[in-house]
Structure 1
Amino acid sequence: MGKKIEKREKKESNEDECRSNPEKPSVSAEEYQCSGILDQDFTELCTRLGFMEIPKVIPRARPPGTPASDRNMFEESDYPSDKECLSGAGPRDRYSYFRPNIRVELEGEDGRSVREVSIRGWKIDEKMMGVFSKCLPALPNLHHINLWNVGLTDATFSSLVTILQRCPSLKVLSLEGNSLPDQSYHRLISDDLGLVHISLRNNQINDNGARLIGQALRGLKVTSKNLATLVLSYNHITDLGAGHIAQALRFNRSLLTLNLSSNRIGDQGALALAEVLGRFALTHPEIVERRRLLLEKEAQDHPRSPTTSRHADTKNERPLSHRSGSAMEKPEKSPGQKAKPSVTKKKDPQKKEDKTNVSQVATGPSTVAAQPGPAKKEDAKTAKKQTAKTEEKNTRGKAVKSATKRAPEHEQVEASEVTNPLLEQAEFRDGNVYLPGNKVLISLNLSRNGVTEEGLQGFLKAMKTQAVEAKPASAARTHTGLLRLSLGKNRFLAESPTFAQIQEIMLLREPIHQSSRSSLDEQVM
């Protein structure tokens, strides 16, 4: 009996020592080299850091239809049955299902092929985030991270952003049910992160958070094509926040899908979003920036803009036959000076009269007096005109040759570079400068908000504009415009004629409907 009491006291003393000295095992945890197997690395790091209860790493079941031969890689005993949960029978008690765990999805049978990591319903503190900072970047195939209701704070969120920067293969991040006081979700939208899909549902994002997200979207480079989907549903965004996001969509050419459902957006926010889908007028700062970009582009396309150097070069590059004509522009010779022989030795009967005039100018004052004045002025004018035409032909020919030589390089630059939205083809009307609008966004969800008939009118106008610009004449354009628009369950009648017109336009623009209609036409033919 006494031995059992001593063992129990010894065990309790070791546990108290681990709790009182958490820094002691952390030194060895920093020296640990991860192998890329999440189950092994996570358990080892938690043990070295002194965790009393270590969450289990459980492979997540594949969707139905998985071959039976591939199911042996999942431990089915980790998923308790309904009888075990209710009666407590089996190797675990009824609450084992609700204990902290990490669900992973593997691409193959290898433990290093972790594709998705999902954590739900238990708090991740700074100590646990330190474990993830070592084992998550060691996963070469990590593509998706799902954190639902894990109690993130501003400090742990900063640590998470640092971890994401060290995961180059990560493309999808689902961060839902985590309210941050500083509303710093915009840090996920950056050129430093290669995230393609970001879900921020149910995070109590307000207008200030929407403003920061809009600034991050505007801050993305024009050449950035990473972020494609942004989900902001079930938040507290109003008309003001929707206006900030619409301001970002004016020149953002990366986002393809935007979900703003189940927010507090009314007509003003809906009109701001609809405006950027059609042609919109530029503000004064945007016009100034557009002019600056146009000047820079012109300077790059035509680096030799000064006229003096161009005229000097063309004068030196004249052929000899045209340089001889400049003798008529020289001052007359003095009487005692000998006449120089003519440079031109061609005997053309059609130019015989011109040769006699030139020889008379070169002989001396007696011949000059015999030649009438008006004839001399006319010859000089015609010679100048011929010289100017020849110079223009030569410069044009050289410009064409240089353009043909640089054509392949110019085509490669256009294929690799992306045009700034401010440099798109503009329309000048009523003293304003109008741009075509955002044709990259293909899906917008505004269902379950406060949009009324007024907001529907704005979207109907924008969809008509996009439908006209997307006719077969302009089918060669890369960007097609909005293909899906969700406006259901708002504050307008379901029998609204405006809503019916929008649905008709969107039905014609839907790719599935177009493909089915084309296949039906082929069957009829």
Structure 2
Amino acid sequence: MGKKAEKLKDKTLKENENDSQSAGVGPQDKTSLSADDYQCTGNLEQDFTELCRRLGYTEFPRVVNRPRMPSTPTSEKTAFDDTDWTSDKDSPIAHIKDRFSYFKPSIQIEVDNEDGRSVREISIRGWKIDDKMMGIFSKCLPVLTSLHKIRLWNVGLTDDTFSSFLTILHCCPSIRVFALEGNPLLQQSYYKLISDDIVLSQIFLRNNKINDEGARLISQALRSLKMTNKNLASLVLSYNHITDEGARHIAQALRFNRSLLSLNLSSNQIGDEGALALAEVLGHFPLTHAEIVERRRLLLEKEAQEQPRSPTTSRHADSKSDRPPSHHSNSAIEKGDKAQAQKTKQSIKKKEKETQKKEEKSASNITSGTSNAAAQASGSNKKDDLKTAKKQLANPDQKNTRGEPVKSATRRAPLPEQEQAEPVEVTNPLLEQAEFRDGKVFLPGNKVVISLNISRNKISKLGLKGFLTAMETQIEETKPIPGTRCHTGLLRLAVGNNNFPADCPTLMRLQEILLPRDPIQKSYKSSEEEQSM
């Protein structure tokens, strides 16, 4: 009986160990190992799995390479016709599991190399990220130096977890593309992504129920960006709840924002008022009273910086006290040089007489002969130095006979490359050339935005006319860059599926203007021509 009891105890211990290993928590993990002590290696699969086990997760998503959606068979044969069911892997149930494995909770990644360390893109969809999981990401993601894009779809983020995710983005400077889709936030905190501290070039915020208040906060964030910040180039706000009021807020930001190149407002609730506000920004728009006051202040500062010096200040600048010592009167310099030259000549003559006497007295002494030769050589060198000194005073920029450049007080040594590089001057849009008419000040519109998508909204012919007027003014003012076919201003405008017919004359005129400028249409036509050849 004792042996049987011992066998049962051993069996139960082994089963418990197996259960704990399958759950990811061993007896040592519970007592000694913790997530804080773990040092990430840069391999996302290894780090994520180990951290989940140390935090006590029994089931957690797997890190897998991003798969492609399974394609339906094109032939009449089904997927089970050529299947050999001799093994479990080839059974119909295994094939069904492989097909539905795409929808299992996982972290889909794209890597550049096979070692798993150069993760370029991360995609998470369909499972909730809580505070505990966010702590794991705060340790795994900053180690990935090649991470370029993060895409989150329907992950159940709250305003608190979203704020903690923003701290992770601050620690990942390599991320340029971020997508948060299907994740409504109660406080509309999406504007926090638009900041000078987070270097993002593309932001996707589709299907997040962003309303007019969220659009107002995004507009303030766009306006608060520094003039030198040219990072954010694309903003996608499609499939949201933005109306005319929200469109006016975004148009207000586009008045002076010169970094955004592409804006997508498709599938919202924008009508004619919002469309006219967006179209006005593309053409000439009048300044408000506050903007006129700010423009005058900037103009006064610019005039003060560029104002030439007065005659009194120029005289003081050219006075003797402001000059370096080598810039005193030329006559004084010449007199001093002549006196010094005469003194040196007299000293040289005296030395020559003394050396001649010494030569006559000690002709047989070899050492005296050698010293005499040295004295003669030094005397000849001093004569040459006097001649070169006079030439240098006459021509200060001329090089001496020995080939060494002459140091001049009027010239400075070249600065290093870092000091020579001048900072790029960024002009404020308020300082652009203005036009005065009807008692108002008009500025040229935003010609930085090259792509605008307002399709699937509630825009009628009235709003469409506003875009036609803006495009006609852009064509009159903008010309192709010399030597190229590039234009400035709007190049692509998507206005389909709105409240106007497809044969609307205004739409036909817009297409005539934009189709030759659209780079996508040009590339499509060129590819068709290549295929036809």
Fold match, TM over 0.5?
A: yes
Q: Which runs of 5+ in 2 are unaligned?
A: 71-87, 322-409, 529-533
- Using the alignment, how far apart are the partners of 1:288 and 1:137 within structure 2? 45
Change (3 A) 1:316 1:199: same
Aligned partner of 1:309 in structure 2 is 313
Counterpart of 1:445 (choices 449, 453, 463) is 453
Cα drift, residue 88 of structure 1 = 3.2
Aligned partner of 1:31 in structure 2 is 37
- Using the alignment, how far apart are the partners of 1:168 and 1:122 within structure 2? 26
Aligned partner of 1:172 in structure 2 is 177
Q: Deviations over 1:323-369 (max 9, x none)?
A: xxxxxxxxxxxxxxxxxxxxxxxxxxxxxxxxxxxxxxxxxxxxxxx
Aligned residues of 1:84 and 1:93 also touching (Cα < 8 A): no
- Using the alignment, how far apart are the partners of 1:96 and 1:29 within structure 2? 29
Aligned partner of 1:488 in structure 2 is 496
Aligned partner of 2:354 in structure 1 is none
Counterpart of 2:47 (choices 41, 44, 53) is 41
- Using the alignment, how far apart are the partners of 2:131 and 2:268 within structure 1? 32
- Using the alignment, how far apart are the partners of 1:418 and 1:36 within structure 2? 39
- Using the alignment, how far apart are the partners of 1:259 and 1:200 within structure 2? 10
- Using the alignment, how far apart are the partners of 1:242 and 1:86 within structure 2? 55
| Secondary structure of residue in 1 paired with 2:188 | coil
Q: Deviations over 1:279-298 (max 9, x none)?
A: 11111111111111122222
Counterpart of 1:417 (choices 401, 416, 425) is 425
Letter in 1 for 2:451: S
Change (3 A) 1:427 1:478: farther
Change (3 A) 1:420 1:453: same
Aligned residues of 2:212 and 2:245 also touching (Cα < 8 A): yes
> Is it true that 1:132 corresponds to 2:172 in the alignment?
no
> Is it true that 1:54 corresponds to 2:63 in the alignment?
no
Counterpart of 1:427 (choices 426, 435, 443) is 435
> Is it true that 1:457 corresponds to 2:465 in the alignment?
yes
- Using the alignment, how far apart are the partners of 1:88 and 1:517 within structure 2? 47
Q: Percent identity?
A: 61
- Using the alignment, how far apart are the partners of 1:462 and 1:284 within structure 2? 23
- Using the alignment, how far apart are the partners of 2:227 and 2:262 within structure 1? 17
| Secondary structure of residue in 2 paired with 1:247 | helix
Letter in 2 for 1:47: R
Letter in 2 for 1:247: Q
Superposed counterparts of 1:19-418, under 5 Å: 28-61=34-67, 88-89=93-94, 96-302=101-307, 309-310=313-314, 413=422, 416-418=424-426
Cα drift, residue 413 of structure 1 = 4.1
Aligned residues of 1:26 and 1:48 also touching (Cα < 8 A): no
Letter in 2 for 1:237: I
- Using the alignment, how far apart are the partners of 1:310 and 1:230 within structure 2? 52
Cα drift, residue 517 of structure 1 = 9.4
Change (3 A) 1:39 1:446: same
Q: TM-score, normalised by structure 2?
A: 0.69
Change (3 A) 1:519 1:103: closer
| Secondary structure of residue in 2 paired with 1:509 | coil
| Deviation larger for 53-62 or 226-235 | 53-62
Aligned residues of 1:25 and 1:49 also touching (Cα < 8 A): no
- Using the alignment, how far apart are the partners of 2:36 and 2:169 within structure 1? 19
Aligned residues of 1:55 and 1:101 also touching (Cα < 8 A): yes
Aligned partner of 1:359 in structure 2 is none
Q: Deviations over 1:190-249 (max 9, x none)?
A: 111111010000000000000000000001111111000100000000000000000000
| Secondary structure of residue in 2 paired with 1:212 | helix
Change (3 A) 1:114 1:456: same
Q: Which runs of 5+ in 1 are unaligned?
A: 65-82, 318-400, 521-525
- Using the alignment, how far apart are the partners of 1:437 and 1:281 within structure 2? 10
- Using the alignment, how far apart are the partners of 1:208 and 1:413 within structure 2? 41
- Using the alignment, how far apart are the partners of 2:162 and 2:38 within structure 1? 24
Aligned residues of 1:25 and 1:48 also touching (Cα < 8 A): no
Q: Deviations over 1:421-476 (max 9, x none)?
A: 11111112222111111000000000000000110110010000011112359899
Cα drift, residue 31 of structure 1 = 1.9
- Using the alignment, how far apart are the partners of 1:515 and 1:236 within structure 2? 33
- Using the alignment, how far apart are the partners of 2:32 and 2:197 within structure 1? 30
Q: TM-score, normalised by structure 1?
A: 0.70
| Secondary structure of residue in 2 paired with 1:131 | helix
Aligned partner of 1:345 in structure 2 is none
Aligned residues of 2:248 and 2:278 also touching (Cα < 8 A): yes
Letter in 2 for 1:447: S
Letter in 1 for 2:180: L
Aligned CA RMSD, in angstroms, stands at: 4.0
- Using the alignment, how far apart are the partners of 1:497 and 1:450 within structure 2? 18
- Using the alignment, how far apart are the partners of 1:117 and 1:517 within structure 2? 34
Cα drift, residue 509 of structure 1 = 2.0
Q: Deviations over 1:472-517 (max 9, x none)?
A: 5989999700000000000111111111111111113224666899
Cα drift, residue 130 of structure 1 = 0.4
| Secondary structure of residue in 1 paired with 2:509 | helix
| Secondary structure of residue in 2 paired with 1:31 | coil
Cα drift, residue 98 of structure 1 = 3.3
Aligned residues of 2:487 and 2:517 also touching (Cα < 8 A): no
- Structure with greater helix share of residues: 1
- Using the alignment, how far apart are the partners of 1:235 and 1:101 within structure 2? 27
Aligned partner of 1:360 in structure 2 is none
- Using the alignment, how far apart are the partners of 2:526 and 2:125 within structure 1? 45
Aligned residues of 1:85 and 1:94 also touching (Cα < 8 A): no
Letter in 2 for 1:417: E
Aligned residues of 2:24 and 2:53 also touching (Cα < 8 A): no
| Secondary structure of residue in 2 paired with 1:286 | helix
| Secondary structure of residue in 2 paired with 1:173 | strand
Change (3 A) 1:95 1:488: closer
Change (3 A) 1:35 1:411: closer
Aligned residues of 2:480 and 2:486 also touching (Cα < 8 A): no
- Using the alignment, how far apart are the partners of 1:53 and 1:187 within structure 2? 33
Aligned residues of 1:440 and 1:479 also touching (Cα < 8 A): no
Change (3 A) 1:491 1:515: closer
When the two structures are aligned, how many residues end up with a matched partner?
A: 411
